[in-house]
């Protein structure tokens, strides 16, 4: 660590001390959430809190706005030159924080950077073959196959300055096997609405208003400064909000919402998140790892899976475990995703006697035993949901042993097929069903589809959906896959997560379904 850096930090502290004085009557937002962004490098981590942080400093070509509607941002328009070539015209007069101009070269550079080997985004945009600069404000993106959702896939590809990156030797994202920290890990310079003033990972991040932001006329926010502190312990986080040390928390615990609501000067915002919680059952193996049934797999029988489905009282989970903050699900994808319909989301009725009957028909009148694997630090009240499920399945004779472990241990179990029965939640950044099918329905030996479900016809349809540019035809295929999934009961859907933000009454920040804060929509109340 260099002395130069340290002197910068101490300088930053002095400036904080000076500028924090209330004389200026700035509009400051002090906020917290459970975990910090992993890095300031916008291409180095494909993770929602990191994207959310990047979105404040960096801009994208297409922006998911507060209603999750894709909005032209640094790109002002597009045309499809041919099935594999997209042409984008770029916004003019956009300047980086250092005063330099944003041009087509920066777009080409940024997309290529996001495709480089050390980038974490390369999987999302792997369909891109080449980026061509047509003129200073026009670029073409050429894809390997026709790609109907190219623009959606660009909503997390942040635009960096080519000159700045070259100057600071950050033309590639941080190599995790490397030795030196790259400059972009704690520094950021984009065209976005806020400038990064101080970044101490896990401790504090300070952003200040970019007065030259191109979007200020359309989005005239009054936020002068944002101070972010991650607070991992949920009780501490709530305490800091209640005591007035914070103005806003992203993830208040559900049980404390009533108290927050009833505290003078605080209010809540809520919306349905683009994430559904469900349970997967391994129907593909000959014999389960953790069951007392030997020689056959009870989960291979559709009647058993349906019995388990109907034994789960999702309304009770919603009311007691989620305190009302959940939307019961009949489908493993939420309403915001293309392909979702109300009809598909309708649940089979909760009916314990019908479930028992189905189990008896399947040849398990007295049930069987199985282990449920569950994360305990990933989803809202994940362990509580699993415990409730254990009790409910117990009522139809299925003896469930619960193993609740941290997410780092849980997810590999699914991907390596070391679990019979597991909890998973799936968010959909592209807001399209194909994304869900690709990971959760398509047959695979490894990866996220731990159900062992593999159907040649369905797999072929999924492949088609990925390439089909005729939307009505594509929609029909999507509906077909969903119907198959529903009839076959691959998964036991629980609910669509509802997110709640808690904030001071002096603020009004509209809540966004992807749980990422858009401070540009903030309104202050005097």
Partner 1 sequence: MIENQSSLAKINDLAFRIVDSDLFYSFSRNPIVVVSAVITFVFIIAATFAPWLAPHNPFDPASLDLMEASTPPVWLEDGMSKFMLGTDDQGRDILSTIMFGSRVSLIVGFSAVLFSVFVGVGSGLLAGYLGGWLDTVIMRLADVQLAIPAILIALMINGVVAILLPPQLQHEMAIYVLILAIGVSDWPRYARVTRGSVLVERNKEYVAAAQVIGVHPLFIMLRHVLPNIMGPVLVMATIGLALAIITEATLSFLGVGVPPTTPSLGTMIRVGNNYLFSGEWWITFFPCTALVTLVLAVNLMGDWLRDALNPKLR
Partner 2 sequence: MIAYIIQRAFQALAVMIVVSLVSFMLFNFVGDPVDNMVGQEATYEERVAMRDNLGLNDPFLVQFARFVGNAVKGEFGISYRIQRPVADLIAERMPATLELVIASAFLSVLLGIPMGVYTGIRPNSWLSRSILVGSLVGVTLPTFVIGILLIYIFSVGLGVLPSFGRGEAVQLGWWSTGFLTVTGWKAIIMPSVTLALFQMTIILRLVRSEMLEVMRTDYIKFARARGLPNQIINFGHAFKNTLVPVITIVGLNLGSLIAFSIITETVFQWPGMGFLFIQAVGFADIPVMAAYLVMVAVVFVSINLFVDILYFVVDPRLRADKTVAAGN
Sites of contact with partner 1 (CB under 8 A) = 234-235, 238-239, 242, 253, 255-256, 258-259, 289-290, 313, 316-317, 319-321, 371, 376-377, 383-384, 386-388, 390-392, 394-395, 400-406, 418
Q: Nearest approach, Cβ of 200 to partner 2 (angstroms)?
A: 8
Q: Which is nearer to partner 2, 173 or 384 (CB)?
A: 173
- 454 lies in the site for partner 2, by CB under 8 A: no
Taking the C-alpha atoms of residue 288 and residue 284, their distance in angstroms, rounded to an integer, is 9
Taking the C-alpha atoms of residue 131 and residue 61, their distance in angstroms, rounded to an integer, is 14
- 42 lies in the site for partner 2, by CB under 8 A: no
How many residues line the site for partner 2 (CB under 8 A)? 66
Among 186, 187, 347, 480, binds partner 2 (CB under 8 A): 186
- 446 lies in the site for partner 2, by CB under 8 A: yes
Handedness of CA 198, 200, 201, 204 (dihedral sign): negative
Contacted by 145, from partner 1, partner 2, none: CB < 5 to 8 Å by type:
none
Q: Which two tokens stand for residue 46?
A: 């494909």
Q: Which is nearer to partner 2, 363 or 412 (CB)?
A: 412
- 265 lies in the site for partner 2, by CB under 8 A: no
Site for partner 2 in 367-386 (CB under 8 A): 377
Among 17, 25, 264, 456, binds partner 2 (CB under 8 A): 17
- 45 lies in the site for partner 2, by CB under 8 A: yes
Q: Which is nearer to partner 2, 13 or 524 (CB)?
A: 13
Among 67, 166, 202, 287, binds partner 2 (CB under 8 A): 202
DSSP string, 361-423: HTT-TT--EEEEEEESSSSTTHHHHHHHHHHHHHTTT-EEEEEEE-HHHHHHHHHTT--SEEE
Q: Computed over its alpha carbons, how large is the radius of gyration of the chain?
A: 25
Contacted by 185, from partner 1, partner 2, none: CB < 5 to 8 Å by type:
partner 2
Among 79, 166, 244, 265, binds partner 2 (CB under 8 A): 244
Q: What are the residues facing 249 on neighbouring strands?
A: 32, 502
Q: Between 382-394 and 302-311, two packed helices, what is the crossing angle to 10 degrees?
A: 110
Long-range pairs, 415-419, Cβ under 8 A, ≥24 = 415/446, 415/447, 415/448, 415/450, 416/446, 417/282, 417/285, 417/445, 417/446, 417/450, 417/452, 418/289, 419/282, 419/289, 419/371, 419/373, 419/450
DSSP string, 3-35: HHHHHHHHHHHHHHHHHTSGGG---EEEEEESS
Contact residues: partner 2, CB under 8 A: 1, 3, 6-7, 9-10, 13, 16-17, 32, 35-36, 38-39, 41, 44-47, 117, 120, 122-124, 174-182, 185-186, 200-204, 229-233, 235-237, 239-240, 242-245, 377, 406-409, 411-412, 415, 439, 446-448
């Amino acid at each position: 660590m260099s002395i130069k850096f340290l002197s910068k930090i101490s300088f930053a502290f002095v400036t904080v001390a000076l500028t924090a004085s209330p004389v200026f009557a700035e509009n400051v937002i002090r906020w917290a959430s459970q975990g910090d962004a992993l890095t300031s490098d916008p291409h180095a981590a494909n993770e929602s809190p990191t994207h959310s942080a990047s979105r404040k400093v960096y801009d994208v070509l297409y922006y998911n706005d507060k209603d999750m509607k894709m909005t032209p941002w640094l790109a002002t328009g597009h045309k499809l030159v041919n099935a594999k070539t997209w042409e984008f015209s770029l916004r003019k007069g956009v300047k980086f924080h250092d005063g330099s101009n944003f041009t087509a070269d920066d777009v080409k550079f940024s997309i290529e950077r996001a495709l480089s080997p050390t980038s974490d985004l390369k999987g999302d945009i792997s369909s891109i073959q080449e980026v061509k600069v047509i003129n200073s404000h026009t670029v073409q993106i050429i894809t390997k196959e026709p790609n109907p959702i190219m623009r959606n896939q660009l909503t997390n590809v942040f635009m960096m300055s080519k000159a700045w990156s070259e100057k600071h030797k950050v033309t590639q994202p941080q190599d995790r096997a490397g030795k030196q920290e790259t400059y972009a890990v704690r520094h950021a310079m984009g065209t976005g609405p806020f400038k990064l003033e101080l970044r101490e990972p896990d401790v504090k991040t300070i952003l200040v208003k970019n007065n030259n932001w191109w979007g200020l006329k359309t989005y005239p926010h009054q936020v002068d400064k944002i101070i972010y502190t991650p607070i991992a312990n949920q009780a501490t986080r709530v305490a800091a909000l209640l005591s007035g040390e914070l103005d806003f928390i992203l993830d208040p615990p559900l049980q404390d919402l009533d108290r927050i609501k009833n505290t003078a000067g605080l209010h809540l915002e809520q919306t349905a998140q683009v994430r559904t919680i469900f349970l997967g059952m391994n129907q593909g193996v000959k014999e389960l790892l953790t069951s007392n049934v030997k020689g056959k797999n009870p989960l291979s029988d559709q009647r058993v899976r349906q019995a388990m489905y109907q034994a789960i009282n999702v309304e009770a989970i919603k009311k007691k475990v989620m305190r009302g903050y959940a939307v019961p699900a009949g489908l493993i994808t939420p309403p915001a995703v293309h392909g979702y319909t109300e009809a598909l989301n309708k649940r089979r009725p909760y009916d314990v006697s019908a479930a028992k009957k189905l189990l008896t028909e399947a040849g398990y009148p007295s049930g069987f035993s199985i282990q449920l694997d569950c994360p305990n630090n990933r989803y809202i009240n994940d362990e509580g949901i699993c415990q409730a499920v254990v009790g409910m399945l117990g009522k139809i004779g299925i003896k469930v042993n619960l193993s609740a472990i941290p997410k780092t241990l849980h997810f590999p179990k699914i991907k390596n097929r070391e679990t019979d029965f597991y909890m998973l939640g799936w968010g959909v950044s592209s807001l399209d069903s194909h994304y869900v099918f690709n990971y959760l329905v398509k047959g695979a030996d490894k990866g996220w589809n731990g159900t062992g479900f593999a159907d040649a016809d369905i797999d072929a349809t999924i492949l088609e959906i990925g390439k089909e540019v005729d939307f009505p035809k594509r929609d029909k295929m999507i509906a077909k896959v969903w119907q198959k999934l529903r009839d076959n009961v691959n998964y036991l859907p629980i609910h669509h997560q509802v997110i709640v933000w808690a904030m001071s009454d002096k603020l009004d920040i509209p809540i966004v379904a992807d749980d990422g804060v858009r401070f540009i929509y903030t309104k202050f109340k005097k």
